[in-house]
């Protein structure tokens, strides 16, 4: 894929000085959840929930839930299992932990500030931290503790940041080669131009800038627009304002809970990357760092 260089106004990007990457990590119970505390003054939070590798035998493998009285019940002891209505995804988002770390390192090299980073090191078959606790942990206390610690670390970072941007890093397995940038709008919403800012995970940002919301969502200076300028295909963005009926993830539990749709002054955006880009996470992650920083500098400073 041919890429053009994104122009940024960060003078440090042009410097040949290499900053020594250092981080202050706090760990949850059993070292399942890691919180890399950001540099004082940073306003960016990165999260990764589906790239973990740990598979302790003390936590049973998640399976599908049961559809009982028109409600999904997620338990290892319910029966019969219903994959159609109550599916539990256990396939990890490969290389998203590495990708998230690369983004954080590159941001620190560029700006001198390291973002807050929250990582789930449990395999998705043990915990899905991007779901409600019932579906995430299947009632297993050890997994529930990790789930709570993951979201508590995010809330601690949010309290420190005050006003800023959370970027949730994921990977998709769709045939489309694009980045799926989630703001809580469905693909159909984007295709039909049904984009009320109050329903988005960047609602707070929309109240702070005097531009049409469409510019924030898929204009040239949107996150998708920045991706296009760097040579990537993204949805939503100027060239692809919607998926046009194609596959697209809208944003998940992290984006809903920790974004600004319902409350707060921290916006959240989910980035779903195709596998071939995640496989070259070092180069791609460095590009994403510049893209996110450009977006942040344009709208948050």
d(CA 159, CA 170): 24
Say what the pLDDT of residue 14 is: 33
Please name the helix (run of DSSP H) or strand (run of DSSP E) that holds residue 137, with its range, or none: helix 133-137
Q: Of 248, 242, 246, 293, whose CA–CA distance to 271 is shortest?
A: 248
Kindly report the number of other CB atoms within 10 A of residue 207's CB atom.
Answer: 11
As a whole number of angstroms, the distance between CA 196 and CA 184 comes to: 11
**Other C-beta atoms lying within 10 Å of the C-beta of residue 259:** 27
Place of tokens 């469905």: 186
Residue 13: per-residue pLDDT: 40
> Cα(26)–Cα(49) distance, rounded to whole angstroms?
16
8-state DSSP, 269: E
Largest interatomic CA distance in the chain: 63
Residue 284 vs residues 42, 99, 210, 231, 274: alpha-carbon distances, Å: 22, 8, 32, 11, 11
Instruction: Indicate the SS3 state at residue 180.
Output: strand
- Alpha-carbon distances of 117 from 63, 105, 199, 214, rounded to whole Å: 28, 11, 26, 29
Residue 237 Cα distances to 21, 79, 98, 257, angstroms: 32, 44, 26, 24
The C-alpha angle 233, 235, 240, rounded to 5 degrees, equals: 75
Q: What is the predicted pLDDT for the residue at 24?
A: 85
Cα distances (Å, whole numbers) of residue 75 to 82, 203, 301 = 12, 35, 46
The DSSP 8-state label assigned to residue 12 in this structure reads G
Pairing between β-strand 179-182 and β-strand 266-274 as defined by DSSP bridges: antiparallel
Domains and CATH numbers, the chain: 11-59+90-300 (3.40.630)
What confidence score (pLDDT) does residue 79 get?
96
Q: Please state, in angstroms and rounded to a whole number, the distance separating the CA atoms of residues 132 and 130.
A: 7
The token pair at 241 is 């304002």
- pLDDT per residue as tens, the chain (301 positions): 433 334 444 333 433 333 445 568 999 999 999 999 999 999 999 999 999 999 999 999 999 999 999 999 999 999 999 999 999 999 999 999 999 999 999 999 999 999 999 999 999 999 999 999 999 999 999 999 999 999 999 999 999 999 999 999 999 999 999 999 999 999 999 999 999 999 999 999 999 999 999 999 999 999 999 999 999 999 999 999 999 999 999 999 999 999 999 999 999 999 999 999 999 999 999 999 999 999 999 999 9
Amino acid 21: pLDDT: 53
């Amino acid at each position: 894929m041919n890429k053009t260089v994104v122009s940024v106004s960060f003078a440090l990007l042009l410097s040949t000085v290499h900053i020594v990457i250092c981080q202050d990590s706090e760990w949850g119970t059993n070292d399942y959840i890691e919180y890399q505390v950001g540099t004082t003054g940073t306003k960016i939070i990165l999260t990764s929930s589906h790239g973990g590798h740990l598979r302790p035998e003390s936590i049973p493998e998640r399976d599908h839930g049961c559809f009982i009285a028109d409600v999904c019940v997620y338990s290892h002891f319910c029966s019969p299992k219903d994959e159609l209505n109550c599916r539990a995804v256990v396939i990890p988002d490969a290389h998203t932990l590495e990708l998230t770390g690369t983004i954080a390192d590159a941001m620190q090299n560029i700006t001198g500030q390291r973002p807050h980073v929250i990582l789930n090191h449990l395999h998705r078959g043990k915990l899905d931290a991007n779901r409600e606790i019932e579906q995430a942990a299947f009632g297993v206390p050890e997994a529930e503790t990790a789930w709570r610690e993951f979201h508590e670390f995010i809330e601690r970072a949010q309290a420190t940041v005050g006003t800023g941007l959370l970027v949730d890093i994921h990977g998709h397995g769709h045939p489309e080669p694009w980045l799926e940038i989630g703001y809580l709008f469905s693909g159909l919403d984007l295709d039909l131009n049904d984009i009320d800012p109050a329903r988005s995970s960047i609602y707070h940002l929309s109240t702070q800038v005097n531009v049409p919301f469409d510019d924030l969502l898929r204009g040239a200076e949107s996150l998708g627009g920045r991706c296009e300028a760097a040579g990537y295909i993204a949805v939503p963005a100027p060239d692809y304002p919607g998926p046009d009926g194609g596959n697209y993830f809208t944003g998940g539990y992290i984006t809903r809970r920790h974004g600004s749709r319902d409350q707060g002054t921290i916006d959240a955006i989910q980035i779903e990357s195709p596998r071939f880009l995640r496989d070259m996470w070092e180069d791609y992650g460095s590009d994403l760092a510049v893209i996110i920083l450009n977006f942040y500098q344009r709208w948050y400073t």
